[in-house]
Structure 1
């Protein structure tokens, strides 16, 4: 190779190095780094790492996947602390007629979100399906999860919410809104039933919830949370005072999940 050729090659290499200097490719999905292997012009793409931490947010126009899941700029977001009926799930209305309550929830959510865009979600955690779990709000500041529970399109999920939306759920139940107009299975129980082996069809059916939930969640003078079911010794004389945090439950599973224990007699 002539001296002139060597000089030209050196100048080109220096120009490439200068153009790349100081550029951070770690967060650029479109970045292309020339490979120096064997002097070829081969291009190597650097992928963007998926990161998130407490306090991070995602914002944009939301596409509704189902009653408790949306998608923003390609990221699936699961609402924190609530659970809505699944798309294929059937509930019964006030007249006992079956309807797809999951689809009703999805359509209602889509219409409501469209009235105040964009949606902003604050990160809580990644779930086992790799979804971004977050607390979400419309542009006007309205809580998406709270609205869904208040309208009877979703349930407070004590296992994940700590009872944050319990009072909203009580209000929806008292008003007979959404799924509280008739009977339904809690979504988490419906999913479990769908996943159960076929040979377990002889198992007793899950208890249906309705607006007339009869389990009394009482708080004792010592602050102990105890629930009473119909037929127990102190059921009839137990009075529920909502201002004290006492409430009604629709199933023993719901009561236990919220932190109550069954009365001993």
Structure 2
């Protein structure tokens, strides 16, 4: 017969082992996520199969077109994803999960080598501060990108949230990218 104390000790060891395995796998434990990331798009990454949406920013969609200073269209969403991938360069990412979105992705602030990825994307003109969620956390970085003419700020673009609304209303990627609301 096993004593109650022995059963509790075994359960405690099992729980501790499970938590250690979860922490090593990169799965959320107390809102913390860590590991090597693969880039899904300009504001979404994946660590060990878990999709993570970067908090407080909005990057252009993969199909979205922006225009450079010569008015030549380019896939600004693809550029954001590629530049983020190059910046991370397979270094480990540390994320603090803040919530979960409607698509069941973790919404988190993530960093690499102590650099906030959301702020880095906004500062380089690859994403926008999304004040509806960020409450202006990245507004200064966005002003800096605008004043320096970095990324999307070189030419014209449509805010990603307006682009998605246009697509949902049966618009085409090209038509929604050149929306009347485009920033010059």
Query: TM tier, shorter chain?
Result: 0.7 to 0.9
Q: Give yes or no for the alignment of 1:171 onto 2:159.
A: no
Distance 1:132 1:122 in 2: 9
Q: What is the aligned partner in structure 2 of residue 189 from structure 1?
A: 162
Matched with 1:246 is none
After superposition, give the CA deviation of every residue in 1:232-255 in whole Å (9 maximum; x if it has no partner). xxxxxxxxxxxxxxxxxxxxxxxx
* TM-fit CA distance, 1:209: 1.1
Structure 2: distance between partners of 1:183 and 1:150:
17
Runs of 4+ in 1 over 4 A off after TM superposition: 50-53
* 8 A contact 1:183–1:209 mirrored in 2: yes
Match of 1:159 in 2: 132
- 1:107-186 matches, cutoff 5 A: 107-114=82-89, 117-138=91-112, 140-186=113-159
5+ unaligned residues in a row in structure 1: which ranges?
1-13, 29-49, 211-265
TM-score by length of 2: 0.81
| Residue in structure 1 matching 2:183, options 209, 213, 225 | 209
Q: Distance in 2 between matches of 1:137 and 1:124?
A: 14
3-state SS in 1 of match to 2:161? helix
* Structure 2 unaligned spans of 5+: 19-26
Q: Which has the higher helix share?
A: 2
Q: How far, CA to CA, are the matches of 1:176 and 1:51 in structure 2?
A: 37
Report how many residues are paired. Answer: 166
